[in-house]
């Protein structure tokens, strides 16, 4: 009797279930190879290959005396399983590669669409073709902010009088001052840092 192994995979974006079905060569009705996943979706056929099923004709006593090495772990059986495993791994790797490429492509398209919508919305605010409320609604739906982040360098000069025993102590007092403790709009300025570059006596 001829046996055939069918490998099916469910929707990789939702379920990604892998089903292996080994049966005798009865053929699928109407020639349609179709299996329903436990999640309710129809699986896609991934591979079809011949399978080797050892005969099971021994009596109860013969089964007890038969060892795994004599009936199942034959050289031909192991070689067949090795070939099957390699083909299965290759099919899964190709499937994973297709899914990964599709995810990268979809992500890039979504980022591009979001950037285009942001550019369109900001231009609409500049030329008053859309209102502030409409812009906020578009930004909320598309997942972007109505602002752009800029990195700026600002030079601030302080003139400070300190009382110290010597110049080194005076410099140490300057370095102990927290120049970042300034008041600013935390909603608009997300980061601020300062450092002492030069002290003139």
* Pair of tokens at residue 98: 């297709």
Domain ranges of the chain: 1-53, 57-151
Least confident of 7-21, 68-82, 108-122, 144-158: 68-82
Output the pLDDT for position 69.
Answer: 52
**Rounded CA gap, 134 and 128, in Å?**
11
Output the pLDDT for position 61.
Answer: 52
pTM of the model: 0.34
The number of beta carbons lying within 10 Å of the beta carbon of residue 15 is: 15
| Model confidence pLDDT, tens digit, residues 155-183 | 888 888 888 889 898 888 888 888 888 77
Output the pLDDT for position 62.
Answer: 54
Cross-sheet strand order for the sheet of 18-24 = 18-24, 3-9, 44-51
Q: Tell me the average pLDDT across 71-75.
A: 59
Q: Tell me the average pLDDT across 56-64.
A: 54
Output the pLDDT for position 1.
Answer: 62
């Amino acid at each position: 009797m001829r046996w055939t192994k069918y490998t099916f995979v469910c929707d990789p974006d939702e379920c990604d279930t892998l089903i292996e079905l080994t049966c005798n060569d009865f053929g699928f009705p109407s020639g349609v190879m179709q299996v329903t996943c436990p999640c309710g979706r129809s699986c896609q056929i991934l591979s079809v290959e011949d399978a080797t099923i050892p005969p099971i004709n021994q009596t109860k006593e013969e089964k007890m005396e038969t060892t795994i090495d004599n009936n199942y772990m034959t050289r031909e059986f192991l070689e067949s399983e090795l070939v099957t495993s390699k083909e299965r791994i290759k099919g899964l790797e190709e499937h994973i590669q297709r899914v990964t490429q599709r995810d990268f492509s979809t992500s890039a398209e979504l980022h591009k669409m979001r950037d285009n919508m942001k550019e369109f919305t900001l231009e609409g605010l500049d030329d008053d073709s859309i209102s502030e409320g409409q812009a906020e609604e578009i930004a909320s739906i598309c997942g972007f902010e109505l602002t752009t982040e800029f990195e700026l360098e600002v030079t601030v000069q302080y003139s400070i009088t300190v009382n110290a025993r010597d110049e080194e102590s005076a410099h140490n007092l300057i370095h102990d001052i927290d120049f970042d403790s300034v008041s600013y709009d935390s909603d608009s300025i997300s980061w601020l840092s300062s450092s002492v570059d030069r002290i003139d006596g």
